[in-house]
Amino acid sequence: MIAHFAGLGSMGLGMALSCLRAGIVVHGFDPSAERVAALCAEGGHALDQTSPTAQIAVSVVLNADQTRTALFGPEGLTKRLAPGGVIISCATAPPAFAREMEAEAHALGLHYLDAPISGGSVKAAAGKLSVMASGSADAFAAARPALDAMATTVFELGDQAGAGSAMKAVNQLLAGVHIAAMAEAMTFGMTQGITPHSFLRVISQCAGTSWMLENRAPHIVAGDYTPHSQVNIWPKDLGIVLDIARDAGFTAPITAAALGQYLAAAEMGLGREDDAAVAKVYARAAGLSLPGEA
């Protein structure tokens, strides 16, 4: 079985390598030649015009516009996908966009799985992602070899595209708010003499913890903002959440407040740092020095 990947970033490369370990032949493309080389070093191949036809196409790009180009553009994955093949589309995007992509895929005789992912780069590399997926039974069946390789949990949320993207929007609302809330709580604690290390040691064992706190707070304690998930992800993802909410006539003030902090972090030049760097917004406003800062 052959799979073509578009996007070999912090998530996509790990997913591609997980497929390789499962015996799937993987051809991948990324704007970064270094990322393509990393795939090839592990036994994968660069995706180009000489690549064989695939049964599975996996798109792990940033947003809706990139997804459309990756799938249906002049060099899109659908150009070398076998009839009856399946697209696994993983970007965070509005549900209406997922339904549009499904219709375009069906018009070409292809299956489409609306399959946003969660778990971060570490779980992607280990093949232990969670996938929030929706699509036809045939789409799930065609995608199963790759899903089994990339994920430990696949939530089957409906027989049409859109439901997966809707659930991902709910997840991103919570995840983005939780990171910002962790940063606010940690820096608030610093004003009361509580060190980031002490904050993590205690709160991670108390009711105020969250998966995001336990995952991201150690980055701040270590003073290491090597990006596992960039600050720049959140203006996009929380923007999508607020767009969906607005269309539904729903107000989301906590989401809007968190979005403001990520926008502030990006304006401070922190966009390419790990999203835990949102703590620097709070710290600088309060005149505090985080670990690793002078």
Active-site annotation, residues = 168
DSSP letter (8 states) at residue 274: B
Task: Name the nearest CA neighbour of 280 among 186, 204, 205.
Answer: 186
CA distances from 51 to 10, 214, 227 (A): 23, 42, 31
Element (H, E) at 41: helix 33-41
HEC string for 76-115: CHHHHEEEEEEEEECCCCCHHHHHHHHHHHHHCCCEEEEC
Torsion of CA 111, 118, 63, 259, to 10 degrees: 150
- Tell me the C-alpha distance between 26 and 146, whole Å: 10
Amino acid letter at 61?
Answer: V
- Tell me the angle at which helices 163-191 and 253-267 cross, rounded to the nearest 10 degrees: 70
Strand residue runs (E) in the chain: 2-6, 25-29, 45-46, 54-59, 81-89, 111-114, 117-118, 129-133, 151-156
